[in-house]
A and B are shown apart, each in its own frame.
Chain A
């Protein structure tokens, strides 16, 4: 389906309705992660947000997008497979939503959803303890587990539990979506 000027308007409406500030859809690269990161900082700073909020949104965004980038590299994904959707939107006053969606193997997706459910039950003190425990884990134990420290960091910066979902596609894979509210 070729895009029309009308469909562009409905895309624009969707962005406005969901208060989307910055959105990206496509193969994610290191340069892009850096550029979008700078744009996020500038954008939120220009809204006179406290620096605390700026750094928290930035940190959550970096962990989320680097997790996706690392996963795609580890899996040897091609451009189509490593295509990700990253969205930064305004939420309730003083809050922001950072969301990302990417292709994962079904088993990894299920493990991630399970992990996020566990983190949702933790209070800030428990998250800090988990974080320190993960930091102290020998590197040899970390092979393949990925996402570990990044997810805990996101949970620590979030003002409410993360929300995750899995949308199965063919070939035993799924789109994994994650939303954090800062």
Chain B
């Protein structure tokens, strides 16, 4: 068993909250589902702390793979906090990447990804899962 396994994050998804898997060794965070939880702070705070800890302790790259069909405005605000952290890390010379995956049947998800991307200069890919 790897010693860093305890540093991984695994939060199961539900109807109103996305599943979150964060792998410390791989430097990958995967989020899938819809996000409109009653308490968005509770959900996103864990992830924000994980990313903060990863970025301050690990030299290697961080990739966020996001399969988010829908986010309510309070979840969007937390995603902004996360992207701001990536932007700072990018400015410090760290390698960060966001892969925003959307389904062609849900054009609003592609638009949301594009609106996020507008405000950042780190690599932010918007990719159709149907391609």
A binding-site residues for B, Cβ under 8 Å: 30, 34, 37-38, 51-52, 55-56, 58-59, 62-63, 66, 69, 128, 132, 135-136, 149-150, 153
Contacts and interface: CB of A to CB of B under 8 A. Distances in A.
B11 interface: no
A73 B38 CA distance: 11
Contact of A34 (B16, B70, B105, B119): B16
The B contact surface, by secondary structure, is mixed
Interface in B71-107: 72-74, 76-77, 80, 105-107
Q: Which 5 A-B pairs have the closest CB atoms?
A: A149-B73, A30-B38, A55-B108, A51-B105, A153-B73
The CB with the most chain B CB atoms within 10 A, among A38, A62, A153, is that of A62
Contacts, number: 40
Given A66-B36, A135-B77, A135-B80, A55 B72 contact: no
Interface residues of B, number: 18
A149 B77 contact: yes
A142 B108 CA distance: 26
Given A55-B106, A59-B72, A135-B80, 20 more contacts: A34-B16, A37-B36, A51-B105, A52-B108, A55-B69, A55-B70, A58-B70, A59-B70, A59-B108, A62-B36, A62-B72, A63-B72, A63-B73, A66-B74, A128-B115, A132-B115, A132-B119, A135-B77, A136-B80, A149-B73
